[in-house]
């Protein structure tokens, strides 16, 4: 047996083993948090160092140094596992071996993160670690007394405040279970069902493939929680279809990037960031997803209407009838995939934990699949689901271990308080300016960091500044979380748009600008829900309904303005009027809403006098 085959077997076995370990320790054999996290990190480091070579080159293979690093990763976790009680006993007074192993662990986590997701996050983490050490050399507000290497290593490795902190803990106890749920869903055929469901709903409509992308990517994205992974899977199907019916490559890539990115803000899952938010804020996860519902719907409605108007403007058609499956047939064959998701939501609504909801979803998915031979999972499917979940999780584990060191550094140095004071000073106590500074910081960090790491940093340094200015805790955290998500489609570094552009053979920068334009309302809504809590369902039902209705109309107006089409092509004056209309409707006050509605109706009637077709035609 050759070396490469042995390495592949070891990686697969480790991934399955990690999945089995997390399930076992979560259900039947609970372990101390730090021990459980150390074992998961140990296995993740092993997989990463064997899977990703030290130097990434085409055709490069696992070498001696990679194997050595993998053994080092095993050693750092095993040291915690077998010396936990002794480490706790000398907490704050580490011996030489503690410091050596701890230093090695920090370096290995940084390198594993570099290998799995790239340079930016380990570089940012290294800056924070250096900030801890050289704080006494920094003048002014951001200076601090500085910490020696022993103190830093002790904090990062020997406590649950650094590498083994909250971010890694959330991954182990919650996020992995939803990754596993998605893996079982995919192996049982759920991915194909969601695509077919989207095709049956929107395939016949004008520009149908783009609407398929909006619906299908939204459904898949809320489970996967990764915009880039979603683009890479669903986009290979939807982007060629969009191009086939006449969409420009840049527009096709933008639609897929925007739709895939929105999965991270769409309940009921919302990706890893929302689970970490619940831990940071101590707000029940159900309250967070309830608050996120209306902004998420508006986000997808914005993309849908931009797609529709673009199709109308270019007189596009849907897919041929013989390529569109019947909705009844799709539901008849795939109802078993809806049942687990509904059960997941119901479990959350009943007040159970997200982990319990994931278990219910997985269990019901397996049981329902047994009812039909075509969906019944075989032993090989179980093995592959466990393997794929483990493989998918290792990058998240490394990133969250890295981000845990950032959180710890912020806590050690008091940087969060200092940053809050700086934002308060720069903003002059004005919330709108503080929101603008925070938005810019989130988008800039998003150019380098994945969404979860971006949120963790912002939750540590920026969200407290907003809270200090009077913004409610959940609102402040949702604000920074949303802009961390939107960074995936915001130029100049829009990772989801770049991935989609690669599939579409389009200009990634243009695709990023179009994607941002398609969801322009989404960039305004976080500001609005700070001032108007009804958008987060934190108001009487009548007020929530009123705000939702006016926001939907605002989305139509903005989409028509940017697309240049309402009932027919718009001239410059009409587009400007539509922008004003959208602004009036989006501001949820009675007078402005009435004026906005009246203006929208007048524009709709005026366009009807000059051409055929309507806003609802071909939807």
pLDDT tens per residue, range 277-324 = 999 999 999 899 999 999 999 999 999 999 899 889 888 888 888 888
Above 50 in pLDDT, residue 188? yes
> What average pLDDT does the structure give for the chain?
88
Pair 142, 136: CB distance under 8 Å: no
pLDDT confidence of residue 258:
92
**Distance between CA 507 and CA 498 in Å, rounded?**
8
pLDDT confidence of residue 57:
64
pLDDT confidence of residue 27:
86
DSSP 8-state class, residue 378: P
Query: 542-560, pLDDT tens digit by residue?
Result: 999 999 999 999 999 999 9
pLDDT confidence of residue 283:
93
**521 or 602, higher pLDDT:** 602
Q: What is the mean pLDDT of residues 419-432?
A: 86
Q: Which residues of 467-494 are buried (b: 16+ CB within 10 A; e: fewer)?
A: bbbebbbbbbbbbbbbbbbbbbbbbebb
Compute the Cα dihedral for 109, 464, 441, 555 and give only its sign: positive
Task: Tell me the CA distances in angstroms from 449 to 53, 456, 487, 576, one per residue in order.
Answer: 21, 10, 9, 36
Query: 325-354, pLDDT tens digit by residue?
Result: 888 888 888 888 888 888 888 898 888 888
Query: 350-402, pLDDT tens digit by residue?
Result: 888 888 888 999 999 888 888 887 778 889 999 999 999 999 899 999 999 99
pLDDT confidence of residue 480:
93
Q: Which residues contact 6 (CB under 8 A, 6 or more apart)?
A: none
**Distance between CA 122 and CA 502 in Å, rounded?**
26
pLDDT confidence of residue 1:
62
> Residue 617: pLDDT band by 50, 70, 90 thresholds?
very low
Q: Which residues contact 128 (CB under 8 A, 6 or more apart)?
A: 405, 406, 409, 410
Biggest CA pair distance of the chain: 83
What are the residue boundaries of the structural domains of the chain, listed by start?
3-168, 550-619
Q: Which residues contact 556 (CB under 8 A, 6 or more apart)?
A: 305, 600, 615
Q: What is the mean pLDDT of residues 160-183?
A: 91
**Distance between CA 459 and CA 177 in Å, rounded?**
23
pLDDT confidence of residue 542:
93
Above 70 in pLDDT, residue 586? yes
């Amino acid at each position: 047996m050759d070396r490469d085959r042995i390495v592949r077997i070891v990686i697969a076995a480790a991934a399955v083993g990690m999945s089995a370990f997390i399930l076992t320790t979560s259900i039947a054999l609970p372990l101390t948090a730090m021990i459980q996290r150390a074992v998961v990190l140990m296995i993740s480091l092993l997989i990463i160092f064997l899977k990703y070579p030290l130097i990434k080159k085409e055709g490069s293979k696992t070498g001696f140094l990679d194997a050595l690093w993998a053994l080092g990763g095993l050693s750092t976790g095993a040291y915690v596992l077998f010396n936990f009680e002794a480490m706790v006993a000398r907490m704050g007074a580490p011996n030489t071996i503690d410091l050596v192993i701890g230093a090695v662990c920090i370096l290995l986590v940084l390198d594993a993160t570099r290998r799995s997701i790239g340079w930016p996050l380990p570089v940012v983490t290294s800056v924070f670690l250096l900030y801890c050490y050289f704080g006494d050399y920094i003048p002014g507000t951001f200076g601090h007394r500085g910490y020696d290497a022993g103190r830093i290593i002790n904090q990062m490795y020997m406590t649950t405040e650094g590498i083994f902190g909250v971010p890694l803990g959330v991954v182990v106890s919650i996020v992995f279970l939803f990754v596993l749920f998605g893996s079982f869903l995919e192996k049982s055929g759920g991915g194909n069902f969601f695509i077919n469901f989207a095709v049956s709903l929107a395939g016949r409509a004008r520009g149908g493939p783009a609407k398929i992308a909006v619906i299908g990517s939204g459904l898949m994205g809320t489970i996967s929680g990764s915009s880039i992974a979603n683009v890479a899977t669903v986009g290979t199907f939807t982007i060629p279809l969009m191009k086939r019916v006449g969409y420009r490559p840049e527009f096709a890539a933008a639609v897929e990037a925007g739709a895939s990115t929105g999965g991270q803000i769409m309940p009921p899952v919302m990706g890893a960031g929302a689970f970490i938010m619940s831990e940071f804020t101590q707000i029940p996860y159900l309250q967070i997803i309830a608050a996120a519902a209306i902004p998420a719907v508006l986000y997808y409605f914005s993309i849908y209407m931009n797609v529709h108007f673009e199709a109308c403007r270019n007189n596009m058609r849907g897919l041929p009838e013989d390529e569109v499956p019947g909705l009844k047939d799709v539901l008849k064959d795939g109802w078993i995939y809806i049942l687990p998701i509904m059960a997941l939501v119901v479990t959350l609504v009943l007040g159970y934990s997200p982990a319990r909801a994931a278990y219910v979803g997985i269990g019901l998915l397996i049981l329902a699949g047994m009812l039909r031979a075509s969906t019944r999972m075989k032993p090989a499917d179980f093995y592959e689901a466990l393997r794929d979940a483990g493989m998918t999780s290792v990058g998240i584990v490394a990133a969250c271990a890295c981000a845990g060191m950032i959180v710890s550094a912020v806590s050690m140095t008091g940087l969060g308080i200092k940053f809050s004071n700086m934002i308060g000073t720069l903003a002059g106590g004005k919330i709108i300016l503080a929101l603008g500074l925070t938005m810019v910081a989130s988008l800039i960090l998003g150019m380098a960091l994945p969404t979860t790491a971006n949120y963790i940093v912002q939750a540590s340094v920026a969200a407290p500044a907003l809270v200090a200015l009077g913004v409610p805790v959940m609102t402040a955290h949702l604000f920074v979380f949303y802009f961390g998500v939107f960074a995936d489609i915001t130029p100049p570094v829009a990772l989801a748009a770049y991935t989609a552009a690669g599939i579409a053979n389009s200009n990634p920068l243009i695709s990023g600008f179009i994607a941002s334009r398609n969801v322009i309302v989404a960039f305004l809504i976080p500001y609005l829900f700070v001032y108007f809590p009804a958008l987060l369902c934190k108001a009487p039902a009548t007020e929530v309904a009123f705000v939702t209705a006016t926001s939907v109309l605002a989305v139509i107006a903005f989409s028509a303005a940017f697309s240049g089409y309402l009932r027919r092509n718009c001239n410059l004056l009409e587009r400007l009027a539509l922008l004003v209309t959208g602004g009036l409707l989006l501001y949820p006050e009675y007078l402005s809403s009435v004026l906005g509605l009246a203006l929208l109706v007048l524009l709709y009637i005026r366009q009807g006098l000059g051409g055929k077709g309507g806003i609802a035609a071909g939807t």
